[in-house]
Amino acid sequence: MALVSCSRCGRAVSDKSKFCIHCGAELKITPPAANYEGLPLLKQEALLKEFLHSHPAHDYGEAGHRRCDRLTWGSLLIWLLGWIVMLMWVIAPKGDDMTVQQQAIMALDFSLFVLLNLMTIIGFGVGMAVSGKYLRKALLGEKLFQTWLKQKKGIVYMPKFASEKVKKMYDAIPTENYKL
């Protein structure tokens, strides 16, 4: 037997009672909502597929995340290539005994190094900007999924976040303008 509060007088009453023993008000005990994390994995996947099928515009942006990853890794590879070119420039023979051809190659190596590093900086900057865009899209999809579960299915879902910053971004997302 568990005790619940009466909605009228606020006193503790048995959850088995139909009426409050203190004020006589009818007790409307609602069963606790199902918890999304407590559902079997197949049921969770089915609910997510149902949501995405009925709301395709609110996909989680996984393709966008993959594009950001490719851009970031590509930038890293360009950066490594730039440092390899720089090492070639450092290792190359120097001095007055260099031929014109060697001097031209060294100048080209250094120019290539600077160019590759600029491309890296631009690539990382674009990757971070695009990543933020897709993170916001993914968080919006997650919040709409949470709202849909609560409104349409009566299921409570509390997503977990990688950081407090991401949680604050999630909490700041308004969902009133979206039709579920």
Residue 49 has pLDDT above 70, yes or no: yes
Residues 26 and 81 in one domain: no
Residues 86 and 110 in one domain: yes
- pTM of the predicted protein model: 0.53
Q: Into how many domains does the chain fold? A: 2
In a domain, 119, yes or no: yes
The larger pLDDT score, comparing residue 68 to residue 73, is at: 73
Residue 63: what pLDDT? 61
Residues 84 and 133 in one domain: yes
Split at pLDDT 50, 70, 90, the class of 64 is low
Residue 53 has pLDDT above 70, yes or no: yes
Split at pLDDT 50, 70, 90, the class of 145 is confident
In a domain, 177, yes or no: no
In a domain, 180, yes or no: no
Residues 40 and 24 in one domain: no
Residues 39 and 26 in one domain: no
The larger pLDDT score, comparing residue 135 to residue 31, is at: 135
Name every residue whose Cβ is closer than 8 Å to that of residue 140 and which is 6 or more positions away in sequence. 58, 173, 175
Residues 99 and 62 in one domain: yes
Section 107-114 average pLDDT: 80
Rounded Cα distance, 117 and 113, in Å:
6
Residue 42: what pLDDT? 92
In a domain, 179, yes or no: no
Rounded Cα distance, 112 and 28, in Å:
75
Domain extent at residue 23: 1-30
In a domain, 178, yes or no: no
Rounded Cα distance, 98 and 116, in Å:
25
Residues 26 and 39 in one domain: no
Residue 87 Cα to chain centre, angstroms = 38
C-alpha angle with apex 82: 130 to 111, nearest 5 degrees? Answer: 110
